Amino acid sequence: MTELEKGPLGQRRGRGARERILSASQRLFRDKGINRTGMDQLCAEAQVSKRTAYQHFATKDDLVTEYLRRFDPDVMPGVFDRPDLTPRERLLAAFEIPATTPLCPYIAAAVELHDPAHPASQYARDYKTAIAKRLTETARKAGATNPEQLGEQLALLIDGASARTRVLDTDSFPTAATIAAVLIDNAIPS
Amino acid sequence: MTELEKGPLGQRRGRGARERILSASQRLFRDKGINRTGMDQLCAEAQVSKRTAYQHFATKDDLVTEYLRRFDPDVMPGVFDRPDLTPRERLLAAFEIPATTPLCPYIAAAVELHDPAHPASQYARDYKTAIAKRLTETARKAGATNPEQLGEQLALLIDGASARTRVLDTDSFPTAATIAAVLIDNAIPS
DNA sequence: AGCTATGTAGACCGATCCGTACCCAACGGC
DNA sequence: GCCGTTGGGTACGGATCGGTCTACATAGCT
């Protein structure tokens, strides 16, 4: 009970300020976008004073960067490490997780911030590169003749499905999965 | 000379105000983004007074919508109508035009505006649907067994290349073209 | 009990935002 | 030559932005 909110009237919301800020960021940045979410509103939502917020994150840019970094542990949660799947199945499983991330926050951030030099944009690039690398590794284990190419191709499919889902408001991951199956079958010698 | 800017000192920049506003929008929205481009700056760039701007476009949202509509004639300029290409070649040609549109303005607008009900967002959806339809028609002419599927797949590849090019700052259209070739070959019986 | 760290609440700052209003200059049609 | 339309220039309003600051309350540690 030391770090959680106190009971009925204690009014003290506890030491979890940083956590509340980040989870409010997730919700608001996803629902309203980064630029359209003000710090005032964010602090109100997180039940945190602005002072506290700026003690944890020197600037809004820092908060955005940290907000993106937050997704790191969730990177394709466990998809690449599931021992119950063959490498080929793992590649396909990467197209079945969009429910958790309705739209790729990295693409959104890169577009909204609109500055390739922004730390968050750089992190978005790093993340995308990391995903491609994981896909390439798995493709190699699956016996693809050209794992780098297959990894890059699958990464493109994921981004395409993500972007298209966002713009059209229709789940495009099934289409991407269909393409992926074709590519994988073509790339892995029987 | 009636509608162009006058000579040396006339100071009168002519009646092309609306045109100048739209072309300044293209430049600024592309380089700085929609949200980060203020009307003051835009008017300055277009050499137009704010009054004039708001006589032509009641609100910034209207301007953004009209800015997107501007791309309509350029929709895959001539790709689908080139008589010198076979339908199959036309499908592949759709992946060779990104030089003119470094990053899809529709995706950018949908992400930046972040409101599916925004007229510009709706127009972005219409545009994407139109592109898919053109691809489907061409796929049908090319003899694809399932033209709808192939059209949707190719549309996803285009969006994927566009998004990925934006985030990674690397031209991803060659990768998309490679995938497209595989899909087309698989979908069209020899 | 007392100290410090951490928190809340909210006023406040300058900048920027979209949009409006006012006044005047230059053209076009009569 | 006169007048209406179109336009430039610009000051202004209200809102919101990111960020700072003061004043006060509570938690844990000793």
Cα angle B55-B56-B62, degrees, rounded to a multiple of 5: 115
Mutate to test the interface with B, among A148, A158, A168 (most CBs of B within 10 A): A168
Measure CA to C1' and name the residue nearest D27. Answer: A14
Q: Is the pLDDT of residue B10 over 70?
A: no
Angstrom distance (rounded) from CA A172 to CA A84: 26
Angstrom distance (rounded) from CA B165 to CA B172: 5
What pLDDT does residue B154 have? 97
Give the side-chain half-sphere CA count within 13 A for B43: 14
Mutate to test the interface with A, among B114, B175, B186 (most CBs of A within 10 A): B114
% of chain B surpassing 70 pLDDT: 85
The Å distance, CA of A70 to C1' of D23, is 34
The Å distance, CA of A49 to C1' of D24, is 13
Q: Assess contact for B66 and B22: CB atoms under 8 A.
A: yes
Spell out the domains of chain B, with CATH numbers in brackets: 17-59 (1.10.10.60), 72-187 (1.10.357.10)
pLDDT 10s digits, A91-145: 999 898 655 566 788 889 999 999 989 998 999 999 999 999 999 999 999 999 9
Q: Is the pLDDT of residue A188 over 50?
A: yes
CB contact under 8 A, A169 and B116: yes
Candidate from A103-112, B13-22, B74-83, B150-159 with smallest mean pLDDT: B74-83
pLDDT band at B39 (very low <50, low <70, confident <90, very high): very high
B188: Cα separation from own chain's centroid: 29
Q: Is the pLDDT of residue B130 over 70?
A: yes
Mean pLDDT of A50-79: 85
Q: From the alpha carbon of B56, which nucleotide's C1' atom is closest?
A: D6
Partner-chain residue, chosen from B106, B167, B176, that has the shortest CB–CB distance to A125:
B167
What pLDDT does residue A14 have? 54
Question: Cβ-count burial of A163 within 10 angstroms (0-12 exposed, 13-18 middle, 19+ buried)?
Answer: buried
CB contact under 8 A, B167 and A114: no
What pLDDT does residue A40 have? 93
Run of H or E including B88: helix B87-93
Mean pLDDT of B77-82: 75
For residue B129, what is the DSSP state? H
pLDDT 10s digits, A9-63: 233 445 678 889 999 999 999 999 999 999 999 999 888 989 989 999 999 999 9
pLDDT band at B92 (very low <50, low <70, confident <90, very high): very high
The Å distance, CA of A61 to C1' of D17, is 14
- Taking contacts as CB-CB distances below 8 angstroms, the residues of chain B near A153 are 175, 178-179
Q: Is the pLDDT of residue B34 over 60?
A: yes
Partner-chain residue, chosen from B112, B158, B183, that has the shortest CB–CB distance to A111:
B112
